[in-house]
Structure 1
């Protein structure tokens, strides 16, 4: 029901996740980032507890492979789960349990890991990785959006997708980008790309509003500071 990519940007220190699914509000259950720590996905028959547990293991010093291995050895019902993780250093990691649904696959690159289930084509994760790696100088969020679009172009899910999400950490404790299309009968990946284009010019300003309100720009709405 889901295809996703988790990644880091060595140039900026950011971490991010992009994900799409046939089910509602996929990013609310499957996508996790933590500034300075890493990114993770918990998908297939989803257990939302597992993403934060992967990030906790990364924060305690485990690399991604160790974090995933520890979790798969310790939690119940792990055969139903599909997990990915990427940390500050070392190779990203992925796990697909024996009960992962339908056509499923995973692909690991230098700074990213992609996985999917109920896919139309097992090459979807590899296509996502290739798109992500195509322009290392681009903003991480843009590379993630491009990867999701490439996954859809490579076949995506076997059926229509209805939700998508983009989550990126920066140099502050909260995600600097958290964009979601929780349900649409249209194209959630295209709608997410449109949201990103609207958000991108303002993202740094909203961080500035939190850290230094007096220096933050206004947006011309009633009650907004000049």
Structure 2
């Protein structure tokens, strides 16, 4: 009833899972992960204990193949289960029980594990693997969603669509830098869940992305005057820097603020709001 990709990105030190299903709130069931340890997707007749138990094994340094062997070996219902694991070193492993509903299967390799059940056919998993391999230079979270989209375009869950989710773990990458959950987006019930997940990822990047240093604009001269006028038109006063801080905090752009500089993404949003206000 589900297809997923579990993966590791060496460049950013991230582990992530993207998943879709004809199932309510699949993100509440399938994806589990921990920065520095690995990630686990548990599905089919999902055994939710595979998540925390698998992460405990991964945290102890157990490799992906052995984690799958230990989880399934202790489970009398293993032939109804499906699980994908990527460990701390990026090794992938996937298991599909013989009693999972057709079509069911998976692929695993360096840095990924892909699996699905009740699919349109093996082309779903193959398309996901191809999409993953074909975009090595893209941001990790975009590669995960691209793989999910490719599986959906190849037929996906043959019962239809309902939910999708994306979770990414990276050390200290959560909002505020305290926890490790970098991205946690869920579409629990939607006619086009993967498209909606992509839209949410766009918003996540808008609000929580960090500007490229070379793109930053000096907040001075004509630009400072324009920004000050726009902020004043929106009701923010007290000097450009203070007004910008107040506006950005209200609009949730504070992660993109750099003292004395301006992110072009923030400038575009400010201009749009000021134009809407003027009209």
Q: TM-score by structure 1 length?
A: 0.89
CA contact (8 A) 1:109 1:129 kept: no
> Which deviations, in whole Å up to 9, do the C-alpha atoms of 1:28-52 show, x marking residues without a partner?
1001111111111000011211112
Match for residue 213 of structure 1?
A: none
Are positions 1:169 and 2:174 aligned together?
Answer: no
Which structure is richer in relative contact order (CA contacts within 8 A, separation 6 or more)? 1
Cα–Cα, structure 1 residues 218 and 78, in superposed 2: closer, same or farther, change >3 Å? farther
Distance in 2 between the 1:171 and 1:217 partners?
29
Structure 2 residue 216 is the aligned partner of structure 1 residue 201: no
1:217 Cα deviation (Å)?
Answer: 8.8
Structure 2 SS opposite 1:75:
coil
Choose from 224, 246, 250 the match for 1:221: 250
Unaligned runs of 5+ in 1: 206-215
TM-score (normalizing by structure 2): 0.72
* Contact 2:37/2:61 (8 A) holds in 1: no
Query: Aligned Cα RMSD in Å?
Result: 2.1
Aligned to 1:211: none
Report SS of the residue matched to 1:103: coil
Could you tell me which residue of structure 2 aligns to residue 129 of structure 1? 129
1:217 & 1:38 partners in 2: Cα distance? 39
Pair 176,123 (structure 1): closer, same or farther in 2 beyond 3 Å: same
After superposition, what is the alpha-carbon deviation per residue over 1:139-196, rounded to whole angstroms, capped at 9, x for unaligned?
1110001000000111111121100000001122331100000001x21010001110
Alignment pair present for 1:145 and 2:150: no
* Alignment size in residue pairs: 215
Shift in CA distance, 203/23, structure 1 to aligned 2, threshold 3 Å: same
Aligned-partner Cα distance in 2 for 1:15–1:154 = 25
- Report the equivalent of 2:61: 61
On the 8 A contact 2:207/2:252 being kept in 1, the answer is no
Distance in 1, matches of 2:38 and 2:246, equals: 30
Report the equivalent of 1:8.
8
In the alignment, the residues of structure 2 paired with residue 217 and residue 114 of structure 1 have an alpha-carbon distance, to the nearest angstrom, of: 44
Judged with a 3 Å threshold, the aligned counterparts in structure 2 of structure 1 residues 118 and 222 are, in CA distance, closer, same or farther, namely: closer
Q: Which has the larger share of helix?
A: 2
Change (3 A) 1:217 1:171: farther
Larger Rg: 2
Question: Any unmatched runs of 5+ in structure 2?
Answer: 173-178, 211-244, 258-279
Which residue pairs with 2:158 in the alignment?
Answer: 158
Aligned to 1:183: 189
Residue aligned with 2:29, SS: helix
Give runs of aligned pairs for residues 42-61 of structure 1, distance below 5 A.
42-61=42-61
2-structure distance, mates of 1:107, 1:155: 17
